[in-house]
Amino acid sequence: MDVRSHNRTAWDRNVDDGNRWTQAVSTKAVNDARDGRFEILLTPRKPVPMEWFPDLGGLSTLCLASAGGQQAPILAAAGANVTVFDNSPKQIEQDHYVAQRDGLKIQTKEGNMADLARFPDDAFGLIFHPCSNCFVPNVIPVWQECHRVLRPGGVLLAGFVNPVRYLFDDERKENGNMEVRYRLPYSDLDHLDESHVREIVDAERPLEFGHTLEDQIGGQTNAGFTLTGLYEDGYEESDNDPVSRYMSTFLATRAVRQGNLLFVVNGTGSW
Ligand SMILES: C[S@@+](CC[C@H](N)C(=O)[O-])C[C@H]1O[C@@H](n2cnc3c(N)ncnc32)[C@H](O)[C@@H]1O
C-alpha cells in the first residue's frame, strides 16, 4: 500500500468535504496578524504561546505538513518568509487562495514530510509542524530532516498525537464504549483487519499511525534538539470525543537546534 499516495487523495478529499483542518483563515485574521495580533494552533484548541515564537520579521519559516490556508498565511502576515511543504495539492491550493486574496507572499512545495531533500542544510530559522505526523508510518526521519534544514539556534514547533488515542477499538469510539484493543505503536495497516482497511481506503479517509512518545519526544532529542517547552491539549466537550473526557490527548513541543560549539583554548585549538 502506498500510504503517501493514499493520504494525498484522502486530504484532497478532506478539502472537498470542508474538514476543519482545511478551512482557510479570514481576511480579518490576516489583517490582525499584520498588526502583530494572532493565534495559531499546533493542536486542536490551545493557541501556541506567543513567547514560543522567535522574532518573525523576515524569518525563513517552513510550514511542514501544514497546508490548508491556516498557519502559513498568518505567519506570512506577521512578517515571516514562509514556505509551505505538504503532500496534498488541494491543501496547498488553500494557501494560494489566501495569499492571492490578501496579497501575501507564500511559497509552496508538494512533498513528503519525511524527505526534505529539496531544501539545503540550515535553510530555515523556524519550522511549524502541526499534528500531522500521524499520517506517516515512521516519524524518526521527520525529526532528523527538521534538524538538518534548521540552522543552529533555529526553533521547531511541533504538535502530535498522544498514542493513547490508538489503544482503543476504533469502531467503539463513537458510542463511548472504549475497549483497550491495540498494542502501541499503532498502524492502521498492521492492526486493523483487511475489511476495515478496505473501508478506510474506499471512503478515502487518511491512514493513521500512533507513534510512541519515545519516537515523538526522544526522536527530537536524539536528532539533536533541546526541548524548551511542552503542553497538552484536547478536543472541546462539544466534539464528543470519548477519550478527551479522561485526558488531554495531544501534545505540543518547542525545541531548539543546538548551535555548533567551537572550543578554542589559548588560540591554539587544543583542549
Ligand atoms: C491535520 S492537517 C494539518 C494542517 C492544518 N493546517 C492544521 O492546522 O493542523 C494534516 C496535513 O498533513 C498533510 N500530510 C499528510 N501526509 C503527509 C506527508 N507524508 N507529507 C507531507 N504532508 C502530509 C496533509 O496533506 C494535511 O495537510
Report, as an integer, the average pLDDT of 69-73. Answer: 98
Mutation pick for ligand 1 pocket among 3, 12, 23, 86 (CB with most ligand atoms within 8 Å): 86
> Residue 204: what pLDDT?
97
Report, as an integer, the average pLDDT of 248-260. Answer: 93
Mean pLDDT taken over the chain: 93
> Residue 240: what pLDDT?
82
| CA distances to 23, 89, 127, 143 from 259, in Å | 37, 35, 16, 16
| % of residues, the chain, pLDDT over 90 | 86
Residue whose CA lies nearest to ligand 1 atom number 25 = 88
According to DSSP, the residues that pair with 126 across neighbouring strands are 61, 155
Mutation pick for ligand 1 pocket among 132, 204, 205, 211 (CB with most ligand atoms within 8 Å): 132
- With b meaning 16 or more CB within 10 Å and e meaning fewer, what string describes 208-230? bbbbeeebbbebbeebbbeeeee
- CATH superfamily of domain region 3-162+212-257: Vaccinia Virus protein VP39 (3.40.50.150)
What are the residue boundaries of the structural domains of the chain, listed by start? 3-162+212-257
> Model confidence at 270, in pLDDT bands (50, 70, 90)?
very low
> Residue 173: what pLDDT?
58
Report, as an integer, the average pLDDT of 25-41. Answer: 98
* Residue 75 · residue 99 · CB < 8 Å: no
> Model confidence at 241, in pLDDT bands (50, 70, 90)?
confident
Could you tell me what percentage of the chain is helix, strand and coil, using 3-state DSSP and rounding each to the nearest 5? Answer: 35, 25, 40
| CA distances to 129, 269, 271 from 266, in Å | 42, 7, 9
> Residue 244: what pLDDT?
87
Report, as an integer, the average pLDDT of 42-47. Answer: 97
In the reported structure, the alpha carbon of residue 257 is separated from the centroid of ligand 1 by a whole-number distance in angstroms of: 23
* Residue 74 · residue 38 · CB < 8 Å: yes
For the chain, the maximum distance between any two Cα atoms, rounded to a whole number of angstroms, is: 70
Report, as an integer, the average pLDDT of 11-25. Answer: 98
* Residue 119 · residue 45 · CB < 8 Å: no
Report, as an integer, the average pLDDT of 209-220. Answer: 98
Task: Evaluate if residue 166 carries a pLDDT over 90.
Answer: yes
Q: Return the ligand 1 atom nearest residue 3 CA.
A: 19
In the reported structure, the alpha carbon of residue 263 is separated from the centroid of ligand 1 by a whole-number distance in angstroms of: 41
Query: What is the radius of gyration, based on Cα positions, of the chain?
Result: 19
Report, as an integer, the average pLDDT of 143-156. Answer: 98
| % of residues, the chain, pLDDT over 70 | 93
Residue 99 is placed in which grid cell? 495569499
Residue 153 φ/ψ region, left for φ over 0, alpha for ψ in the -120 to 50 degree band, beta for the rest? left
Report, as an integer, the average pLDDT of 121-128. Answer: 98
Which residue ranges have their beta carbon within 6 Å of ligand 1? 4, 7, 11, 21, 41, 65-68, 70-71, 86-88, 91, 112-113, 130-132, 135-136
Report, as an integer, the average pLDDT of 150-160. Answer: 98
Q: Return the ligand 1 atom nearest residue 135 CA.
A: 16
